[in-house]
Structure formats: C-alpha cells, structure tokens
C-alpha cells in the first residue's frame, strides 16, 4: 500500500514510550488506572498509537517501522498492534525521554540501513486531516532525499 516514491529507504520511528503527565489525572478518572494517552481510544475504534502506526505504514514498509514503547506498557502496545504486520518494538526499561528513544532507534536503523531516510512520529497526537499531514511528510522526504 506504500506509494512507489517511498522506495526501500524510508523508515519510521514511532515514539510511544512517554508517560502522560498533562492529562494523566483525567485518564485515571476515566479508566480507573493510569495509562498514557497514546494507548487510549478517544473516539472510534483505534488508539492514538494505532492511528500513528497505520499512518506510518502508508509511507514505510512494515519492517521499516520502529516503535519505541515503555516496558511498563508493553502489554498494551503488543495488544494494540496485534493483527498488524510485524514492526520492530524497542522496549525501554524505564522512561528515558525523547532524545534517548530517538538515539536508540536511529542506531538500530543505521545498523540495518546506513542510507535510510527516517521520519519520526509522536504517537500521542491526533492528526486531522491525515491526508494533508502525509502529503507534508512526503514533501519533506522528497526534499531530504
């Protein structure tokens, strides 16, 4: 389902390891337990993480998607990604912030594909309209390549 322009060099990093501090109390009241917003379904049938992975899969091959998760929420992530083609999951032993997640992911990608072009997606944002967002990402990739 990937456009021909994407080629084999486009990789995606999905950041899903964060802990939610801004809306955490609201989610705790709603669900009765803490849960980062990327694992929540606010409308429809997919969580923010699932939306992000599906969006990345429109531009990258499944095997070129690296998702950074928190070990604490690994069961949530695995459950939500079940049934989708296999992507690489990197589980952080503890929340180590964005820079560490990007560094470890880039190191993993570079070992497999030193010439890769990489797009980094946060998984805790709602994106609408998605088609316009993907067009912007596509233009950025063309510019970089």
Question: Closest Cα to residue 102, out of 42, 40, 18, 36?
Answer: 18
Q: What is the pLDDT of residue 4?
A: 52
Instruction: Give the integer Cα–Cα distance in Å for 82 and 13.
Output: 18
Mean pLDDT calculated for residue range 69-98: 86
Q: For residues 60 and 28, which has the higher predicted lDDT (pLDDT)?
A: 60
pLDDT at residue 2 tops 70? no
Q: How many CB atoms lie within 10 A of CB 28?
A: 13
User: Picking from 49-53, 57-61, 84-88, which range would have the lowest pLDDT averaged per residue?
Assistant: 84-88
Please, which residues bridge with residue 106 across strands?
Answer: none
Sign for the CA dihedral angle at 135, 119, 90, 62 comes to positive
Mean pLDDT calculated for residue range 20-33: 77
Alpha-helical segments (H) within 1-145 = 24-31, 48-56, 74-81, 97-112, 130-144
Mean pLDDT calculated for residue range 46-69: 95
Mean pLDDT calculated for residue range 123-145: 93
Q: What is the mean pLDDT of the chain?
A: 88
Q: Quote the Cα angle for 93-95-101, to 5°.
A: 90
Classify 41 in phi/psi space as left (phi over 0), alpha (psi -120 to 50) or beta.
beta
Instruction: Give the integer Cα–Cα distance in Å for 145 and 139.
Output: 10
Q: What is the pLDDT of residue 1?
A: 42
Of the candidate CATH numbers 3.30.365.10, 2.60.40.10, 3.90.550.10, 1.10.150.130, the domain formed by 7-18+48-144 belongs to 3.90.550.10
Q: What is the pLDDT of residue 35?
A: 83
Q: What is the pTM of this model?
A: 0.88
Classify 40 in phi/psi space as left (phi over 0), alpha (psi -120 to 50) or beta.
beta
């Amino acid at each position: 389902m990937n456009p021909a322009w994407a080629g084999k060099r486009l990789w995606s990093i999905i950041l899903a390891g964060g802990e939610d501090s801004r809306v955490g109390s609201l989610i705790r009241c709603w669900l009765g337990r803490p849960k980062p917003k990327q694992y929540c379904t606010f409308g429809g049938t997919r969580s923010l993480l699932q939306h992000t992975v599906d969006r990345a899969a429109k531009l990258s091959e499944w095997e070129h998607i690296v998702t950074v998760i928190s070990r604490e929420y690994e069961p949530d992530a695995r459950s939500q990604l079940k049934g989708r083609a296999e992507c690489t999951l990197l589980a952080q032993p503890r929340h180590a912030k964005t820079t560490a997640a990007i560094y470890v992911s880039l190191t993993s990608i570079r070992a497999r594909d030193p010439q890769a072009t990489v797009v980094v997606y946060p998984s805790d944002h709602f994106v609408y309209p998605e088609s316009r967002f993907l067009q912007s990402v596509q233009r950025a990739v063309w510019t970089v390549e």
